[in-house]
Amino acid sequence: MKDEEQTSDLETSSDAGPSDEAPPALYPEDQQRVDEFLKRGVNSVDRKPFRPILLMLLLIVVVTTLSLLSQLIANLEGVY
């Protein structure tokens, strides 16, 4: 009897197709835990605003310094 019920349940669920009302993906207590996790830690940390101009200036200074250093080493070693 159980096998017939399980078979009929499987048949009706596969024949049903997509429904307009999707069942909830998580149980309410699991959804609550997910919501609490999203509200804490990395997701809720206030950060300083991103300043791209400062980043560009820093990159220019680093690249220029390394370029001048490589030119100095090349001149001291007699490459040029």
The residue with greater pLDDT, 72 or 35, is 72
CA atoms of 19 and 27, how far apart (whole Å): 19
According to the model, what pLDDT value does residue 22 have?
72
CA atoms of 53 and 61, how far apart (whole Å): 12
The residue with greater pLDDT, 55 or 22, is 55
Assessment of whether the complete model's pTM goes beyond 0.85: no
Per-residue tokens: 11: 């048949």
Share of the chain above pLDDT 90, in %: 36
Distances (CA, A) of 76 to 7, 13, 66, 69: 85, 80, 15, 11
36: CB partners within 8 A, 6+ apart: none
Residue-wise pLDDT tens digits, 55-73: 999 999 999 999 999 999 9
